[in-house]
Amino acid sequence: MKKEIAVIGLGRFGGSIVMELHDMDVDVLVIDSDENRVNEYQEFSTEGIIGDSTDEAMLKKIGIDNYDNVIVAIGDNIQASILTTLILKDLGVKKVTSKAQTAHHGRVLEKIGADSVIHPERDMGRRVAHRLVSSSVVEYLEVSHNHSIIEFSANQKFENKQISDLTLREKFGISIIAIKRDHDIIVSPDANTTILDGDILILIGTDEQLGLFEDKMDRLK
Ligand code: ATP
């Protein structure tokens, strides 16, 4: 069965979600109070509604509770974002994902029942900061408030060594969960896997452990 998804708010963030879902062949309903925005995304959506998402009667009329997933991508108008999230949960939408503009906004969204709260600007800022601080970190992903995953470009110190020789777990408490090699990915590599030139190591650990590892590796270069 095809997933039914609705996106409310067609700013840059909401708009890019709609385009991505369209590429993935997912049916999307779009809602925005601005007619121009709805028209702009017409070719990427299955249905477009021009309307105020804080209008409960309108959401009820279009049967919003039939959607598996509703994304509230309204940012600047915090009041509208909060009220829309509240109404969607009251109407029985199973999964509401709301975009937070600030940490406080995010906390309110969690309290009123958003199933998932995303902080795109904060997360992007953190990812860029990690890449700036360590030239070997090519990607960064936060998995909990104190655990992250990094993609680390293996330097010469790693080349032709086996994973067991690196003793990353013993020295730093971090684990290699996968290795990207050319266009392949080695998932859960064995301890005797040899690291090659150009390998990208995907590492998981606490932020503190990963920070110590990044510092040490930068000093070794
Ligand atoms: P982004 O950071 O994603 O680019 P933005 O700054 O362009 O967002 P926002 O103010 O976050 O714009 O709003 C995103 C969209 O949400 C806009 O197109 C706006 O018309 C729409 N929007 C705002 N409030 C409502 C509402 N109550 N009902 C429906 N749409 C709304």
pLDDT for position 129: 81
Q: For residue 6, how far is its CA from the centre of ligand 1 (angstroms)?
A: 14
Environment class of 213 (CB within 10 Å of its CB; exposed 0-12, middle 13-18, buried 19+)? buried
Domains, the chain, with CATH or none: 4-118 (3.40.50.720), 123-219 (3.30.70.1450)
CA distances, 44 to each of 5, 52, 120, 139, 182 (Å)? 13, 20, 22, 29, 33
pTM of the model: 0.77
15 ligand 1 Cβ < 6 A = no
Cα 123 to the center of its chain, rounded Å:
8
List all residues 6 or more positions away from 168 whose beta carbon is below 8 Å from its beta carbon: 174, 175, 176, 203, 213
Q: Which run of H or E residues covers position 57?
A: helix 56-61
Tell me the two tokens of residue 86.
């509240």
Among 207, 221, 69, 61, residue whose Cα is nearest residue 136: 221
12 ligand 1 Cβ < 6 A = yes
80 ligand 1 Cβ < 6 A = yes
Q: What is the mean pLDDT of each run of 10 residues along the chain (221 residues)?
A: 85 95 94 97 96 97 94 94 97 96 95 95 82 78 88 86 92 95 93 93 93 80 59
List all residues 6 or more positions away from 111 whose beta carbon is below 8 Å from its beta carbon: none
34 ligand 1 Cβ < 6 A = yes
pLDDT for position 144: 86
pLDDT for position 130: 76
